[in-house]
Every structure is written in structure tokens, then in C-alpha cells.
Structure 1
Amino acid sequence: MLLIAPVRAASLGFGLMQPAAVILFADPHAQAKVPEQRMRETFRLTPAEMRLLVALLNGQKLAEYANVASITYGTARLHLKRLLQKTGCHRQVDLIRAATQNPTDRIWGIFNESIGSDGSNATR
């Protein structure tokens, strides 16, 4: 995928009358690489919660994950509830969207507000 978008040149320091554009390249079929260690530490995710998140990002449905992980569907739902609670997301789709749109910028920008300055989970 190729995206070309105009930008305000003055905001980039090019001067008022200079044309400027941003060009982005992306592979729509590429899977997002999740910075697992950073996410585990930032959100205090358990290994089970992290495995679930990776499975969901790879397109697995919750029931499929439960079957593959040899856990009950209820246990998988409990892991998902805790994962959503820890990240500050309210729905599974919000979590996936935030993690896949731009894992290095978006996920930390959105979720940092759910983490207190001392590293503890803040309540929403």
C-alpha cells in the first residue's frame, strides 16, 4: 500500500511556500510484530495474557485460542477481560486496532494514560 499526503511545509521548517508531502509504504498483509517484553512490563501482563494477545493479533478467534491452548473458553474470556482491563481498552476490537495501527507510537500513546507515573495501573 502506498499513501501520499500533503503536509504543511511551514510546520516542518521548509518555509511558507514550499510544497511538501509525506510518503508512507505499508504491506497490508504483514503481521504486526508485538514488542512482547515491553508490553509485558508496561502493562504487567501475565505470560497467558501475552500469549492470548499475540494469538488475537495473528487473527485467531478466542474459541480457537482456547482450543489450541488447551484451556476452557471461560478461562480464555477471563484472560481477555484482564488483558482489556490492564491496557485500558474496553473492547477486543479496540485492543487489536490500537496494537496494529502503529505498535511503536499508537499503543504507547493511547495506553500510557492508563499507567500512572509510578508505573502502577491508573483507574479509568
Structure 2
Amino acid sequence: MTESHLLVTCDCLKLINPQTQVTRLRVCDSVGLAKQIAFHEELDRKASEKAKEIVKDKQQKELSKQKQIKKDLEEQSRLIAASSRSNPHGGEGQFVVLRSSQSEDSNLGEDGKKKRESET
């Protein structure tokens, strides 16, 4: 039985003679392979989390839009209800008296002017 040092790097494992520093055995490349696998799994995990975050943000924005639409519809409903309460007949049966302009007075002639003046 001899003494050896185990050198662990990101690529491989080596057994080294401590006196001569000669590599006795390169055990395998499994450490490097394991590192690559772990690295790719980490990248995949981060990409998955990012995708979930993007979907969540989109859902939040859509929910916010829906809430705003609902709020706008409720406000419109309140305004419609308020306007129908202040005007229960819905504008039916109401009249507005308009005065004729001066140019229309000149078109009426003298008889029409006298008649209008007598009515007022």
C-alpha cells in the first residue's frame, strides 16, 4: 500500500504520487461530466422559472385590465342610472321653445311680426 494524493478538478480525478508528483491514475472524467449535467440542469431550471414569471406577469396584466374594464362598466352603469333618475320620462313629452333669429323675422313679413309680438 502506498500513499497517494487525490486531486479533484472540475474535469477529472487524479491519483498523484506525493513525492514525484507523477499521476498514477486518472480515475475518470465523470466529475467534468457531472459538472456539465448540473450546469445544464441549472440553466433549464432558471429558464423554466423565467418562463413561469413571464406567464405570471401576463396573467397579472390581464387581470388588471379586466378589473379596469369592470370598474369602467360599473361607472357607466351608475351614470346611466343617475341620468335616468334625474329624467324619469326619458325625454318624452318635453318641449324646448326656440326663438327665431332676426333673419327669420324679416322673412315673416309685417303680419307675422305683429302676430309674434302680440303673442309675447
Q: TM-score range by the shorter chain?
A: under 0.3
Higher RCO (C-alpha under 8 Å, 6+ residues apart) = 1
Is the helix fraction higher in 1 or 2? 2
TM-score (norm 1): 0.19
**Greater Rg, structure 1 or structure 2?**
2
